[in-house]
């Protein structure tokens, strides 16, 4: 009995339309893409972003140096684009002594709670401009994870939107096929009843 049922199934169902077959294969393709393609895209994008961020961080570490300086004034100057009083950093005038007993003064970023006379750690680039600290390994790793997750989410959204569009087209074709079939068989059914 099972052989007959299986054999009958393989020969095709007269009620099954071509659009049904296309929709079933599309659903299978979407399932494979969601299960395999989306994670692979996320991992690939995450690794690429991590490598790029690690290269940038290494270049910044080579270009920037840490200086222990004393705040000499200007701690009330917020950084541009930050909310007043809630900023994580402020601009201030700092003074430090370089190797060779040369004293320097510059305006740079300091922590929000820094007061005049306090020692703070500040970063400068090779041109002597005050800059932020270079990203550490944790920030680089987090960047890679976020890019990978966003890429995977975007890929999943594109796949699901494409599947929705394909289902809509398949439904339209199915309805057209049913209309054609009914136009062909409908008169035979309604003749006996009138």
Of 123, 148, 170, give the one whose Cα is nearest residue 22.
170
56-69, pLDDT tens digit by residue? Answer: 999 999 999 888 99
Cα(first)–Cα(last) distance of the chain, in Å? 42
- Residues 71-126 have pLDDT tens digits of 988 765 555 555 444 456 778 888 988 777 788 888 888 887 888 888 998 888 88
Q: What angle do CA 22, 27, 32 make, to 5 degrees?
A: 125
pLDDT digits (tens, 9 = 90+) for 163-189: 999 889 888 888 888 888 888 888 877
Cβ atoms of 133 and 145 closer than 8 Å? no
Task: Provide the pLDDT for residue 85.
Answer: 45
């Amino acid at each position: 009995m099972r052989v007959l049922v299986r054999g009958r199934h393989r020969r095709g169902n007269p009620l099954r339309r071509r659009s049904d077959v296309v929709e079933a294969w599309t659903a299978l393709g979407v399932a494979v893409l969601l299960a395999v393609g989306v994670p692979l895209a996320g991992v690939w994008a995450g690794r690429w972003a991590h490598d790029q961020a690690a290269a940038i961080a290494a270049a910044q570490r080579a270009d920037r140096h840490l200086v222990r300086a004393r705040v000499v004034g200007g701690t009330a100057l917020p950084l541009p684009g930050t909310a007043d009083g809630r900023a994580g950093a402020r601009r201030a005038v700092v003074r430090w002594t370089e190797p060779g007993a040369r004293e320097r003064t510059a305006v740079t970023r300091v922590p929000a709670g820094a007061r005049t006379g306090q020692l703070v750690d500040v970063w400068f680039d090779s041109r002597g401009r005050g800059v932020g600290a270079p990203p550490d390994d944790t920030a680089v790793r987090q960047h890679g994870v976020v890019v990978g997750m966003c890429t995977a989410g975007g890929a999943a959204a594109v796949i699901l939107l494409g599947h929705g569009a394909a289902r809509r087209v398949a439904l339209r074709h199915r309805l057209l096929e049913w209309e054609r079939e009914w136009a062909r068989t409908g008169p035979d059914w309604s003749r006996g009843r009138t």
